[in-house]
């Protein structure tokens, strides 16, 4: 039994209506992701999350009555962040080179590293959340394929789906090369992977003007 969950069992997260409230909730969610990424879900406390967000503990419980509800909000936030990241990439398609698009895709998981680590902590903590891992993967694959089709509208959907799988593996490899101490690496490995990823997109989609 977790002491963080002693109150607020019946209602969900409170959606703030004012700008100050939205800013407070954003700070709490960011702090929650950071604390969970550092300590894991079970070891994270609402008090520490409030302190990290520089928010009164009463304000935290007002918006998120218990830690499970906060976790649910973090899961929803992760979906939003993934979509925002790919929206940003897609907005560059008409003006950017394929090399820039390739870099944007490759760096997506690195830029969301803290949130991804927090999600891993959440999904490992509760069996009922484990299915979200597949949902996240499918969302990323769908967004990569969509980006590829924006770059090359004549590309068959099946090819876009297959390429998305390869690019997702490249994203995971880049994160491992840069941050996983258990993975064999070298000072130039990340750049080699970046060059390989660029060449792959140019080869498969054809060079387009930057």
Q: Mean pLDDT per 10-residue run, the chain (210 residues)?
A: 42 69 88 93 94 92 92 94 97 95 94 90 86 93 98 96 97 90 88 96 74
In this predicted structure, what is the pLDDT of residue 49? 95
In this predicted structure, what is the pLDDT of residue 130? 83
| Biggest alpha carbon–alpha carbon distance for the chain | 58
In this predicted structure, what is the pLDDT of residue 23? 87
In this predicted structure, what is the pLDDT of residue 16? 64
Which DSSP symbol is given to 125?
H
In this predicted structure, what is the pLDDT of residue 66? 92
Dist. CA 50–CA 60, nearest whole Å: 6
131-151 helix and 67-90 helix, angle to the nearest 10 degrees: 10
In this predicted structure, what is the pLDDT of residue 112? 92
In this predicted structure, what is the pLDDT of residue 24? 87
In this predicted structure, what is the pLDDT of residue 22? 82
The SS3 assignment for 68 reads: helix
In this predicted structure, what is the pLDDT of residue 87? 98
């Amino acid at each position: 039994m977790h002491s963080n969950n002693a109150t607020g069992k019946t209602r969900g997260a409170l959606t703030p209506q004012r700008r100050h409230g939205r800013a407070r909730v954003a700070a709490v969610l960011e702090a929650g992701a950071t604390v969970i990424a550092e300590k894991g879900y079970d070891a994270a406390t609402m008090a520490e999350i409030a302190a990290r967000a520089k928010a009164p503990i009463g304000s935290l419980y007002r918006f998120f009555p218990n830690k499970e509800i906060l976790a649910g909000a973090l899961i929803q936030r992760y979906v939003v962040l993934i979509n925002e990241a790919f929206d940003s990439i897609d907005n560059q398609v008409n003006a950017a080179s394929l090399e820039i698009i390739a870099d944007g895709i490759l760096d997506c998981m690195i830029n969301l590293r803290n949130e991804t680590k927090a999600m891993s902590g959440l999904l490992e903590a509760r069996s009922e959340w484990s299915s979200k891992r597949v949902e996240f993967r499918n969302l990323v694959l769908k967004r990569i394929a969509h980006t590829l089709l924006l770059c090359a509208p004549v590309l068959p959907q099946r090819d876009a789906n297959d390429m998305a799988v390869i690019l997702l593996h490249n994203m995971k490899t880049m994160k491992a090369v840069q941050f996983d101490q258990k993975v064999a690496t070298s000072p130039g490995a990340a750049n080699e992977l970046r060059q390989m990823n660029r060449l792959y997109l140019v080869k498969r989609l054809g060079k387009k003007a930057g």
